[in-house]
């Protein structure tokens, strides 16, 4: 086995992944749960998930990895380092999908990690620190909530028991579903991670709009979700003059505009969406008596998110007061903004530059396993474009050259991180 000279990076800098092998693996995995429209339906902890997990485990073992499974079913494929006592440099993502999901969401991050390990195996290179590829359980949350379940347990966002007790619509618990597919491991305590990278399709239109290959992800937006109820007065559209109405939908339209204005007022990263709306009684010639709607506010920092929250409350109150109507706001979810580790973000940028790839700084608007991992380890993400920004859809698509480029950046960033890992005092203490 060749022991790389970590003082000179020239040989490593020339190393490239096999883009065709990566693509082939993506297409192979996409056959498990393939849909007629070209997508994938592979819900978490189903028999299809088991088959896909088994394939991943077999592929990892083929290149000499050891494989462990923790108590929430997360899989860790480990490639030993020269200093195998060091905490690992990790990458990963998920292989569960939405019911009408695509081939790339999550699967790309897992198989890009596998391709990095395969490339190193082919080149007979051993890194200083060990490398690991994680397959996180139930990221999508389509069958079981909460979403990002495996990484959430790993990062301590919620307890293992809380996750194991969740049930799907048929009443099957996570605990029983994990046991049924044989992926309930014994490791309860998360291990220390030196650095975590995650490659992912962007799931948005920014890279494509700017014609860039690599998104250098600076962090993830914080999110505040709300349920809003507008209480008007149901009445006949015909006999009720305008001045005697208490039209709940008219006030809901004010709220929709307010949410949009709040986001625009907090550019560039402020986002505001009313995605769900329900009108009662929803009849053509009846003035709506009650409208329920959801609000989703996102921002890159907590001060902005708090300002947006205040603006929403003030605008809803003003709209209701003007119309003589009650507008009730109930917060339902809060995810804090999560900046990524600056040295890891820089490593991603250096990798892209070194490879001559066009790139731009972006921020993740959606949640990812990396966002939970960032709570317990230095973390960063690499985005590649997806066609028309479409994801969570069977027509989700991405270009092989972009996927290969992102995988090469992942390789370089992991190599850089792996050669600078130092023993972590806290980690050593914890292992005693």
Q: Binding to a copy of itself by residue 232, rule CB under 8 A?
A: no
Out of 283, 310, 342, 431, point to the residue binding a copy of itself (CB under 8 A).
Answer: 283
Q: 37 or 257, CB closer to a copy of itself?
A: 257
Q: 210 or 422, CB closer to a copy of itself?
A: 210
Out of 15, 32, 181, 263, point to the residue binding a copy of itself (CB under 8 A).
Answer: 263
DSSP 95: -
Out of 237, 303, 314, 395, point to the residue binding a copy of itself (CB under 8 A).
Answer: 237
Q: Binding to a copy of itself by residue 334, rule CB under 8 A?
A: no
Q: 189 or 284, CB closer to a copy of itself?
A: 284
Tell me which H or E stretch contains 352.
Answer: helix 342-354
Of the candidate spans 58-66, 80-88, 250-258, 343-351, the one that interacts with a copy of itself by CB under 8 A turns out to be 250-258
DSSP 167: B
Q: Binding to a copy of itself by residue 109, rule CB under 8 A?
A: no
Residue 66 pairs in a beta bridge with: 78
The two structure tokens encoding residue 18:
């096999």
The two structure tokens encoding residue 204:
């948005």
Residue 25 pairs in a beta bridge with: none
The two structure tokens encoding residue 29:
């995995």
Of the candidate spans 78-86, 166-174, 239-247, 338-346, the one that interacts with a copy of itself by CB under 8 A turns out to be 239-247
Of the candidate spans 37-45, 118-126, 343-351, 387-395, the one that interacts with a copy of itself by CB under 8 A turns out to be 387-395
Of the candidate spans 46-54, 85-93, 110-118, 245-253, the one that interacts with a copy of itself by CB under 8 A turns out to be 245-253
Q: Binding to a copy of itself by residue 280, rule CB under 8 A?
A: no
Q: Binding to a copy of itself by residue 218, rule CB under 8 A?
A: no
d(Cα 124, Cα 109) in Å, to the nearest integer? 23
Pair 39, 395: CB distance under 8 Å: yes
Pair 338, 235: CB distance under 8 Å: no
Q: Binding to a copy of itself by residue 394, rule CB under 8 A?
A: no
d(Cα 259, Cα 411) in Å, to the nearest integer? 41
Q: Binding to a copy of itself by residue 205, rule CB under 8 A?
A: yes
Q: Binding to a copy of itself by residue 211, rule CB under 8 A?
A: no
Of the candidate spans 74-82, 249-257, 340-348, 351-359, the one that interacts with a copy of itself by CB under 8 A turns out to be 249-257
Pair 228, 316: CB distance under 8 Å: yes
Pair 263, 297: CB distance under 8 Å: yes
d(Cα 364, Cα 336) in Å, to the nearest integer? 13
Least separation in angstroms between residue 245's CB and a copy of itself is 8
Pair 120, 131: CB distance under 8 Å: yes
d(Cα 27, Cα 286) in Å, to the nearest integer? 52
Q: Binding to a copy of itself by residue 228, rule CB under 8 A?
A: no
Query: Applying CB under 8 A, what is the total number of residues that bind a copy of itself?
Result: 61
Out of 96, 132, 247, 394, point to the residue binding a copy of itself (CB under 8 A).
Answer: 247
Q: Binding to a copy of itself by residue 268, rule CB under 8 A?
A: yes
Q: 12 or 251, CB closer to a copy of itself?
A: 251
DSSP sequence for 369-401: HHHHHTTTS-EEEEEE--GGG--SSTT----HH
Q: Binding to a copy of itself by residue 9, rule CB under 8 A?
A: no
Q: Binding to a copy of itself by residue 198, rule CB under 8 A?
A: no
Residues 40-69 that bind a copy of itself (CB under 8 A): none
d(Cα 243, Cα 230) in Å, to the nearest integer? 18
Q: Binding to a copy of itself by residue 10, rule CB under 8 A?
A: no
Q: Binding to a copy of itself by residue 298, rule CB under 8 A?
A: yes
Pair 219, 366: CB distance under 8 Å: no
Q: Binding to a copy of itself by residue 191, rule CB under 8 A?
A: no
Burial track 320-333 (b if 16+ CB lie within 10 A, e otherwise)? beebebebebeeee
Helices vs. strands in the chain: H and E counts, helices first: 14, 18
Of the candidate spans 39-47, 62-70, 286-294, 347-355, the one that interacts with a copy of itself by CB under 8 A turns out to be 286-294
Q: Binding to a copy of itself by residue 312, rule CB under 8 A?
A: no
Candidates 364, 334, 373, 306; CA nearest to 223 is 334
Tell me which H or E stretch contains 311.
Answer: helix 302-323
Pair 238, 285: CB distance under 8 Å: yes
Q: Binding to a copy of itself by residue 244, rule CB under 8 A?
A: yes
Q: Binding to a copy of itself by residue 367, rule CB under 8 A?
A: yes
d(Cα 169, Cα 105) in Å, to the nearest integer? 24
Q: Binding to a copy of itself by residue 390, rule CB under 8 A?
A: yes
DSSP 302: H
Residues forming contacts to a copy of itself in the complex (CB under 8 A) are 202-206, 209, 221, 223, 225, 234-242, 244, 247, 249-250, 252-254, 256-257, 260, 263-264, 267-268, 270-279, 282-288, 294, 296, 298, 364-367, 389-393
């Amino acid at each position: 086995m060749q022991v790389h000279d970590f003082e000179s990076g020239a040989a490593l800098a020339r190393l490239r992944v096999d883009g065709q092998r990566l693509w082939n693996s993506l297409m192979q995995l996409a056959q498990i749960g393939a849909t007629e429209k070209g997508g994938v339906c592979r819900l978490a902890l189903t028999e299809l998930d088991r088959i896909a997990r088994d394939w991943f485990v077999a592929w990892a073992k083929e290149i000499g990895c050891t494989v462990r499974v923790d108590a929430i079913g997360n899989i860790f494929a480990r490639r030993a380092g020269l200093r195998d006592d060091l905490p690992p440099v990790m990458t990963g993502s998920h292989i569960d999908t939405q019911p009408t999901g695509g081939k790339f969401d999550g699967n790309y991050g897992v198989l890009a990690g596998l391709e990095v390990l395969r490339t190193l195996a082919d080149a007979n290179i051993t890194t200083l620190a060990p490398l690991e590829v994680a397959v996180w359980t139930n990221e999508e949350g389509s069958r079981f909530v909460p979403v990002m379940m495996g990484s959430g347990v790993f990062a301590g966002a919620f307890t293992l028991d809380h996750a194991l007790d969740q049930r799907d619509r048929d009443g099957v618990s996570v605990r029983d579903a994990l046991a049924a597919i044989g992926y309930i491991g014994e490791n309860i305590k998360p291990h220390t991670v030196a650095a975590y990278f995650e490659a992912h399709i962007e799931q948005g239109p920014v890279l494509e709009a700017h014609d860039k290959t690599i998104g250098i992800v600076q962090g993830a937006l914080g999110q505040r979700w709300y349920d809003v109820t507008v209480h008007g007065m149901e009445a006949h559209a015909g006999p009720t003059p305008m001045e005697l109405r208490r039209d709940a939908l008219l006030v809901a339209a004010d709220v929709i505009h307010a949410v949009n204005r709040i986001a625009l007022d907090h550019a560039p990263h402020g986002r505001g969406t009313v995605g769900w709306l329900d009108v009662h009684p929803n009849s053509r010639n009846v003035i709506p008596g009650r409208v329920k709607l959801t609000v989703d506010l996102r921002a890159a920092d907590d001060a902005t998110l708090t300002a947006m929250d205040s603006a929403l409350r003030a605008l809803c109150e003003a709209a209701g007061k003007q119309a003589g109507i009650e507008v009730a706001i109930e917060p339902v979810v809060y995810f804090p903004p999560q900046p990524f580790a600056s040295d890891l973000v820089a490593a991603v940028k250096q990798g892209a530059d070194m490879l001559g790839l066009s790139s731009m700084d972006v921020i993740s608007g959606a949640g990812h396993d990396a966002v939970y991992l960032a709570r317990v380890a230095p973390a960063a993400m690499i985005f590649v474009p997806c066609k028309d920004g479409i994801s969570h859809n069977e027509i989700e698509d991405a270009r092989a050259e972009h996927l290969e480029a992102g995988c090469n950046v992942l390789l370089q960033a992991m190599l850089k991180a792996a050669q600078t890992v130092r023993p972590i005092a806290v980690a050593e203490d914890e292992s005693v």
